[in-house]
Amino acid sequence: MTTTKVLLSVLAHPDDESFGMGGTLALYAQQGWDVYLVCATRGEAGTVDPHYLEGFGSIAELRESELRCAARHLGLKSVFFLDYRDSGMPGMEANLHPQAQINAPISEVAARVVRYIRELRPDVVITFDPIGAYRHPDHIHIHNATVLAFERAADPAFAPQSGAPFQPGKLYFHTVPRRFLKIAVRLIRLFGGDPTRWGRNKDINLASLAEVDFPTHARVDYTRVSHKKTLASACHASQGGSQMRRGLIGAVFRLLGEKDTYMRAYPPVQPGEKVMTEL
């Protein structure tokens, strides 16, 4: 008798799954794993052109709908929300909202994540790297909360109201390869852009991110399901999802190949270990 393996991704906003580790999620779902997503917020602070809101009562309602569309393309078993509010980038008014994710104690957020770890009993947990991919406060906050939840999930004294203790097997951080970023920075400059002011709101410094180098312990080739990542990304139309796989960034993807890279946090990496092709 075999037990279906479980992969749990813990992220901050709708679109994080598709623009980031979506290839991995789709690949493992296709391989028969039960793949789940815990999303901390509904992306309320995202910039949305008015016409996308037609038929929706709020940005949160729109972006949740986009996420559920993406989840179907990726083959996710289910999506869960922690019901915090999007905190926005540093300096935004959204930072001050009392329900903003970054204003919740890490231990409180971790207790909510632990509930799903104990309920779903994942073999593998994945989340952002320590700088949250591009230093988004919510990304860093949910990274820290997920690390704490993973460390304390088997401790009956931690969040006893959140289910019976359980220890997942592995914890990985999804990373953005430094080579990818360096090529992107060069191409943006070549075409007259400013890599220190990149993105829809010009609030991401790609040049500084290219100087951060996390180790790679796993490299997952998702070429055979790359079309699913493309379809999932397109679901996030309000966030420019249909363009994410095109233009300069799309060109870099094609140049480097359709691969997700990961740093393993647990179990500890031993000296001499080779880069794995699976989680």
Domains located in the chain, CATH noted: 6-177+214-243+259-266 (3.40.50.10320)
Average pLDDT on 150-164 reads 97
DSSP-based three-state secondary structure for 216:
coil
Report d(CA 40, CA 142) in Å as an integer: 7
Q: What is the pLDDT of residue 18?
A: 95
Neighbours of 5 (CB within 10 A): 16
Q: Sheet with 124-128: list strands edge to edge.
A: 78-81, 34-39, 6-11, 124-128, 170-175, 259-266, 218-221
Give residue for tokens 């972006």: 63
Residue 1: is its pLDDT beyond 60? no
Report d(CA 130, CA 173) in Å as an integer: 8
Report d(CA 169, CA 164) in Å as an integer: 16
Any bridge partners for residue 32, and if so which? none
Q: What is the pLDDT of residue 209?
A: 80
Mind listing the pLDDT tens digit for each residue in 225-249? Answer: 999 999 999 999 999 887 766 666 6
95 token code pair: 């930072």
Mind listing the pLDDT tens digit for each residue in 99-144? Answer: 999 999 999 999 999 999 999 999 999 999 999 999 999 999 999 9
Residue 194: is its pLDDT beyond 90? no
Report residue 278's pLDDT band, with 50, 70 and 90 as the boundaries: very high
CA-based Rg of the chain, rounded to a whole angstrom?
18
Mind listing the pLDDT tens digit for each residue in 207-228? Answer: 788 788 899 999 999 999 999 9
